[in-house]
Structure 1
Amino acid sequence: MINSKDSKDNKIDSKDEKEKNEDHLPIDADNIDKSEIDKDHVESSEDQKDELLKEISDLKDQLLRSMAEVENIRKRSRKELEDTNKYAITGFARDILSISDNLRRALESIDNDEGKDKSESFKNLIEGVELTERELLSVFNRYGISQINPIGERFDVKFHQAMYEEETNDKEAGTIIQVMQSGYVIQDRLLRPAMVGVAKKPKEDDTNNEN
């Protein structure tokens, strides 16, 4: 006769053995739910992709800004170098203008009619002064210095300095009727304004106003 206690113990041992065997069974990959794993993997990949794209965009923006800044610096440096080359002699040119003025005054002070009766040596002196003035103006032009002699032109405050106004009907108001001292520009920059007299419209007579 089988003891009930032994039978019960055998059942317990069989159950433990079964559970033990189940623990050692190979994992069936087909039974794993891959949808959750794939979903997490995709979401993680998308996040990484977005971060990388943002970093690339930021780096590209920084690169473009740096390139633009370098180009601006290059342009400023080029402009400064050009200005230095153009206007390096501005101070010297301004000082030497007085020589040109004195040569012009010397020639204007000579009465041409009286000059005909002067000696040959005096005529040669006049020609020498004229030649010196022409040579000086030629040197000015060589270095981008141009003379402003605006007789008959419209008054321009950027290049002219009005010394007086004269009422006249012969010229339109604002027209330069006399150049007292020539002006000069170096390249496109004013070196010295021309001193001029400007035409002014005459005032109407009181009798005309009454009529």
Structure 2
Amino acid sequence: MQNNDQQSPGETSPQGQQGEPSAIHTELGNAQARVAELEGINAELLETVLREKAELENQRRRLHRDLEQARRFANEKLLNELLPVYDGLESGLAVEGGDLASMREGINLTLKALLKVAENHGMSQIDPLGQPLDPERHHAVSMVDAPGSAPGTVVSVLQKGYVLNDRLLRPALVAVAKD
């Protein structure tokens, strides 16, 4: 027997997927609608990503600007506290004449004000007179005979040392009692 049914190229065979042309068009329409929907979602996501990227860039710029401002004006508080010390030194230098005792008193008051400002900002003096030598905080520049002092004890401070928030800024230069 011969099969006289002829198929056109776009139609499906009875053994394959059966479907009417209207069902194929419906599926195609649904697929096209889904593609359009996904393209819309993709466009929204792209716009969101671009907005977020721009926002991150703006935040980075603001942070950079704020850090630069903080760096430039970090010492403002310290310098404002130093202004009275400068004023005291200038007024002391402006005095013509005067006795040595009052000048010493003025310099001593200015030094105390300066040390107070330094302490307010975490700096402290190292004055190790009479203490055992601490090689991490003291730098021995000489050893001297010192009757009545234990060997290795600081007997003279040539230059005081300074510490900033437990970090050594400058060791104290000291003379130590000989063994």
1:59 to 43, 51, 74: 51
Q: In structure 2, do the counterparts of structure 1 residues 53 and 47 end up closer, same or farther at CA, with 3 Å as the change threshold?
A: same
Offset of residue 42 of structure 1: 0.7
Q: Which has the larger radius of gyration?
A: 1
1:76 to 68, 82, 100: 68
- What is the CA–CA distance in structure 2 between the aligned matches of 1:74 and 1:81, rounded to whole Å? 10
Partner of 2:33: 41
Offset of residue 82 of structure 1: 2.0
Aligned positions, number: 135
- What is the CA–CA distance in structure 2 between the aligned matches of 1:161 and 1:87, rounded to whole Å? 30
Q: Does 2:112 match 1:135?
A: no
Matched to 2:114, the amino acid is F
1:181 to 125, 148, 159: 159
Q: Does 2:149 match 1:164?
A: no
Structure 2 unaligned spans of 5+: 1-21, 90-98
Paired-residue identity, %: 20
Offset of residue 135 of structure 1: 1.3
Q: In structure 2, do the counterparts of structure 1 residues 183 and 71 end up closer, same or farther at CA, with 3 Å as the change threshold?
A: same
Matched to 1:135, the amino acid is L
Secondary structure, in 3 states, of the residue corresponding to 1:82?
coil
Matched to 1:53, the amino acid is L
Q: Does 2:170 match 1:196?
A: no
- What is the CA–CA distance in structure 2 between the aligned matches of 1:147 and 1:133, rounded to whole Å? 18
Q: In structure 2, do the counterparts of structure 1 residues 162 and 51 end up closer, same or farther at CA, with 3 Å as the change threshold?
A: farther
- What is the CA–CA distance in structure 2 between the aligned matches of 1:65 and 1:170, rounded to whole Å? 65
Q: In structure 2, do the counterparts of structure 1 residues 165 and 48 end up closer, same or farther at CA, with 3 Å as the change threshold?
A: farther
TM-score (norm 1): 0.44
Q: In structure 2, do the counterparts of structure 1 residues 147 and 137 end up closer, same or farther at CA, with 3 Å as the change threshold?
A: farther
Offset of residue 183 of structure 1: 4.4
Partner of 1:149: 127
Pairing 1:23-34 to 2, within 5 Å after superposition: 33-34=25-26
Q: In structure 2, do the counterparts of structure 1 residues 84 and 156 end up closer, same or farther at CA, with 3 Å as the change threshold?
A: farther
RMSD (Å), alpha carbons: 4.4
- What is the CA–CA distance in structure 2 between the aligned matches of 1:47 and 1:138, rounded to whole Å? 74
Q: In structure 2, do the counterparts of structure 1 residues 137 and 165 end up closer, same or farther at CA, with 3 Å as the change threshold?
A: same
More helix by share: 1
Runs of 4+ in 1 over 6 A off after TM superposition: 185-192
